[in-house]
Structure 1
């Protein structure tokens, strides 16, 4: 059989696909580079050409997660008809829609990432997301300060707080996963709905906006996203 020559970027993506599958199945800590290389059907020389270490592989995988998330909000960033508040709420709305649309897959990912042997992967994905989204948030907030929409003395600090809000909700989700029962899920939904309302009020205050200006979660959003796990699991049981 003649050797198939693939474009380097295609080959790199394939290696990342195999690494992601193994990390999510075995856990980042347990999966070895040799297992990734074997699963990908690559030579060690070819693999190390793209990723000289497991750390480099992890970095590339986290960056890919961040790029995919960024691509999902690009239309909001490029919309010339949005003012700073509209753009910020547009980013939050796009994030809500993405979470609803991909909720079953996201739950499977959460359940895997929250395993102790995947905490490094979870942490690096969040770092990569922050590195990608924080500059965009800073730009939007600065534009809002310049046109008088927002009132804050530290746009970078506000962007950091927004990113921390997102990470802080993971604890509530982790408890829902650990509990597993419908009662545990209902408690988690109520806690997360309260947390979202608190974050909205906090952002309104931090940005000097009237109450109700920032919308992180529309009615029913939290329940729809959280109960996707129930629907997925019940479907598997049938």
Structure 2
């Protein structure tokens, strides 16, 4: 019987399916390229036709996960009856909710990204996510400019600057990772929430708004993230 030849995009998608299953179940560090090849039913040549390394697989997976998350926010991004600030705050609120829900599943990835010495990999992954989210955030900011609500000279630069703030939480999130499930969890949650609240003020000022206009973080969010990190992976 002739071997079935699948379209390249289908094969690539199956590789990402395998990566998601194995990275979430075992963790990124404990999954090898050979594990991915075996799980996806590919040859080594087939793997390297699509990806040059395991890191590149992770970048592509993060892009796919970010795109899926943004698709779930389509009603917020495209709803015709929302003013820009309401759209932005609803977008941020729903995004926070999804992060809390996804943290237990993605703990294996976080354990890798927030290990000492993995900052370069973290920033690569952050850039992959930003590439998906930044144009959508810029669209909201541009709406605010058109409404004369947001006082920024360039919506795309503002969006990228706001998203880069996330990278500034690296130390606090790494501390939260280590504190999850310990007596240090409360203090780690307080520190992370303080960082996020400060960033919220920065976002207000980037957009030319009064402090507190943007609902950048809500009470209990940081603790919910830490509690999610303490949960065992399914």
Runs of 4+ in 1 over 6 A off after TM superposition: none
Note the C-alpha offset of 1:22.
Answer: 5.2
For residues 197 and 41 of structure 2, the distance between their equivalents in structure 1, rounded to whole angstroms, comes to 49
Aligned partner of 2:101 in structure 1 is 101
Shift of 1:120: 5.1
- 2:193 corresponds in structure 1 to 193
Give distance in 2, aligned partners of 1:101 and 1:132: 20
8 Å CA contact 1:37, 1:44 repeated in 2: yes
Q: TM-score, normalised by structure 2?
A: 0.82
Unpaired runs of at least 5, structure 1? none
Q: CA deviation at 1:89?
A: 1.0
Report SS of the residue matched to 2:183: helix
1:76 aligns with 2:76: yes
1:34–1:223 Cα change, 3 Å: closer
Residue 157 of structure 1 corresponds to 157
Mapped to 1, the partners of 2:158 and 2:185 lie a distance apart of 31
Query: Who is 1:44 aligned against?
Result: 44
Change (3 A) 1:224 1:116: closer
User: Counterpart in 2 of 1:143?
Assistant: 143
Report if the CA contact (8 A) 1:62-1:124 is conserved: no
Q: Distance in 1 between matches of 2:17 and 2:118?
A: 17
Normalised by the size of structure 1, how large is the TM-score? 0.81
Kindly tell me: are residues 107 and 214 of structure 1, through their superposed partners in 2, closer, same or farther at Cα, counting changes over 3 Å?
same
Residue 130 of structure 1 is matched in structure 2 by 130
Q: What's the offset of the Cα at 1:149?
A: 0.7
Give the distance between the partners of 2:227 and 2:60, measured in 1 at CA: 31
**CA distance in 2 between partners of 1:35 and 1:126 (Å):** 25
1:172 positional shift: 0.8
**What is the distance in 1 between the residues matched to 2:101 and 2:35?**
32
More moved, 75-84 vs 4-13? 4-13
Distance 1:141 1:183 in 2: 41
SS at match of 1:227: helix
Deviations 1:72-100 (A, max 9, x none): 32221111111111111121011111022
Instruction: Note the C-alpha offset of 1:124.
Output: 2.5
